[in-house]
Amino acid sequence: MYADLIDFDTTGKVSADIFHSEETYRRELSTVFARSWLFLAHESQLRAPGDFVTALMGEDPVIVSRQRDGGIRAVLNVCRHRGMRVCRQDSGNTKRFTCSFHGWTYDTAGELVKVPRETEGYHDRLDKKGWSLTPVTRVESYRGMVFGTWDPDAPALIDYLETARPALDSFIDTLGSDIELAGPMKWRIRGNWKMPAEGLGTDGYHAETTHASALQAIGGMAEPSRIFQYSSAAGHAAAMTDLGVTQRMHEKAGVGPSPHGTNDTVTVAHATVFPNFSFIGYSGPLRVWQPRGPEEMEVWGWVAVPAGLDAETRRQKLRGVTVSFSSSGVFECDDSENWSEIAAVGRGFVARSTPLNYQMGMGFDDPAGTDLPGFDVRTGHLFNDIGARGFYTRWAELMDGPELALTPSAPPPGANGRG
Ligand code: FES
Ligand SMILES: [Fe+2]
């Protein structure tokens, strides 16, 4: 039982092995990633029919595109012929996707519309309708954020996000409601995807040590007593604080003040929507921690900016974010070093068998702080592992639950209609 690898009732321990085990990782793909809602895109990237972006759902690549009827659809980006990646671009606009191996061609809805040498090779008996790209079971949006899930039994997206909405709404509202994404920037680092996911949800504790130099350069950390940690049974986690605190944190980076809200407005500092979608409030970085094995991940990063900014303001804002959060950003480099070192030193038998400490604040989770609705549990202090405990509790529930049941479509006839 994966629930036995965590204990937040008495000891506050988590097995170190969950960050290194290949077996655990494979189960994460068939449970956590196969059964959760995963961030795919922002609608601003898909304005016109035929606009598409490619995304990942766990290790499964997908194409997300705007349909002629205005809907958004996502399909597995794997050719039904020999399994080649069909679309090899990050984004674009098209009517058709043609596989670069043998030329099978699909429309943006994933229907197989053209097969080279169909007459000579398949004697006009290929059931093209039976060989569409595999559709993502459900695709839904919340305030422009597009998510997908393979699980037909998942709750509606709006319900899945219920306890994350204070953080998501605050992220969007602080930027001014109408946002668009710049990016993505993609890079690969060593480390388990859960480390940054829990970290962006809950770990304000590391900042004074990990980012000591960077914080010195920007004049110290915001008042920690005014940051509140939030946790949810759905696995989402966030740190919320007064808008004035985050503004002071970011002004040295050249990110101008937000015209939306007063200094006392409760706003998100950083948050993770379970399982792997994180963001930093006010300055606008978004991250998906794409799993690439138990000790490797691909970081996909965007910056959310108010739509319609003039070019110079937009450039300044992106520059301000990039120097702190990007593949070469000072804060992100500090963070990545930790995640990579954990992967490097934790492979030994003894290291993997030695439990880790998630005790901080245990027993002191309470509704103190603000009246902000949404999260199930909150605490009035920055220094608390409450969000991580919620994250791993939900993680273990899914890991011990059923794998996604794939319902194979009725087997189509063989190549010559004889199969
Ligand atoms: S693998 Fe795509 S056409 Fe052959
Ligand atoms: Fe950090």
Task: Identify whether residues 129 and 168 lie together within a single domain.
Answer: no
Is 90 in the same domain as 206?
Answer: no
Check whether residue 352 and residue 221 sit in a common domain: yes
Predicted confidence at residue 415, as pLDDT, reads: 39
CA of 98 to the centre of ligand 1 (A): 9
Q: Probe ligand 1: pick from 81, 88, 114, 131, max atoms within 8 Å of CB?
A: 81
Residue 102 is a catalytic residue? yes
Tell me which residue has its CA closest to atom 3 in ligand 1.
Answer: 102
Q: Does residue 204 share a domain with residue 126?
A: no
My answer on whether 126 and 264 are in the same domain is no
Q: Is 109 exposed, middle or buried (0-12, 13-18, 19+ CB in 10 A)?
A: middle
Say yes or no: 211 and 245 in one domain: yes
Closest by CA position to 149, among listed 231, 25, 31: 31
- Using 50, 70 and 90 to split pLDDT, how confident is the model at 418? very low
Q: Which two tokens stand for residue 121?
A: 């090779």
Percent of the chain with pLDDT over 70: 87
> Stretch 359-372: mean pLDDT, rounded?
71
Higher pLDDT, 192 or 371: 192
- Is 197 domain-assigned? yes
Residue 152 lies in a domain: no
Nearest Cα neighbor of 15 from 357, 389, 393, 399 is 357
From the CA of 99, give the closest atom in ligand 1.
Answer: 2
Mean pLDDT, residues 210-236 = 80
Q: Lowest mean pLDDT: which of 60-69, 246-255, 343-352, 353-362?
A: 246-255
Higher pLDDT, 251 or 79: 79
pLDDT (average), residues 327-334: 91
One domain for residues 129 and 245: no
Does one domain contain both 105 and 66?
Answer: yes
Task: Report if residue 20 sits inside a domain.
Answer: no
pLDDT at position 114, please?
98
Containing domain of residue 273, as a range?
Answer: 163-400
Q: At 302, give phi and psi (nearest 5°).
A: -125, 165
Task: Judge if ipTM > 0.90.
Answer: yes
What is the reported pLDDT for 214?
Answer: 84
Give me the CATH number covering residue 47: 2.102.10.10
217 with 251, same domain: the answer is yes
As beta bridge partners, residue 65 has 52, 73
Ligand 1 atom closest to residue 102's alpha carbon, by position in its atom list: 3
Q: Does the pLDDT of residue 119 top 90, yes or no?
A: yes
Ligand closest to Cα of 131 equals 1
Using DSSP, how many helices (H) and how many strands (E) does the chain show? 13, 21
User: Scanning the structure block, which residue is given the tokens 């399909």?
Assistant: 75
Measured in Å, residue 103 CA sits from the centre of ligand 1 at 6
Encoded tokens for 147: 């998510």
Instruction: State the average pLDDT over residues 351-373.
Output: 79
Indicate the range of 58-62, 73-77, 133-137, 223-227 predicted with least confidence: 223-227
Q: What is the pLDDT of residues 129-183, one digit of tens each?
A: 999 999 999 999 999 999 999 999 999 999 999 999 989 999 999 888 799 999 9
Give the pLDDT mean for 400-414: 72
> What mean pLDDT is predicted for residues 192-213?
94
Q: Is the pLDDT of residue 277 over 80?
A: yes
Res. 49 pLDDT band, cuts 50 70 90? very high
Q: What is the pLDDT of residue 372?
A: 56
- Percentage with pLDDT > 90 across the chain: 72
211 flagged as catalytic: yes
The pLDDT value recorded for residue 242 is: 73
Total number of domains constituting the chain? 2
How confident is the model at residue 120, as a pLDDT?
97
Same domain, 46 and 170: no
Ligand minimally distant from the alpha carbon of residue 97: 1
- Is the predicted pLDDT of residue 5 greater than 50, yes or no? yes
pLDDT-based confidence at residue 417 (cuts at 50, 70, 90) = very low
Q: What is the pLDDT of residue 216?
A: 82
333 found inside a domain = yes
pLDDT band at 382 (very low <50, low <70, confident <90, very high): confident
Residue with tokens 């998100």: 268
At residue 293, does pLDDT exceed 50? yes
Ligand of minimum distance to the alpha carbon of 270: 2
Closest of 201, 189, 198 to residue 237, by C-alpha: 201
Rounded distance between C-alpha atoms, residue 271 and residue 280, angstroms: 7
In a domain, 58, yes or no: yes
Q: What is the mean pLDDT of residues 315-330?
A: 90
Per-residue model confidence (pLDDT) at position 391: 97
**273 and 337 housed in the same domain:** yes
| pLDDT over 80 at 213, yes or no | yes
Amino acid at 248: R
Q: How confident is the model at residue 255 (pLDDT cuts 50, 70, 90)?
A: low
Average pLDDT over residues 36-61: 98
Question: Active site includes 90?
Answer: no
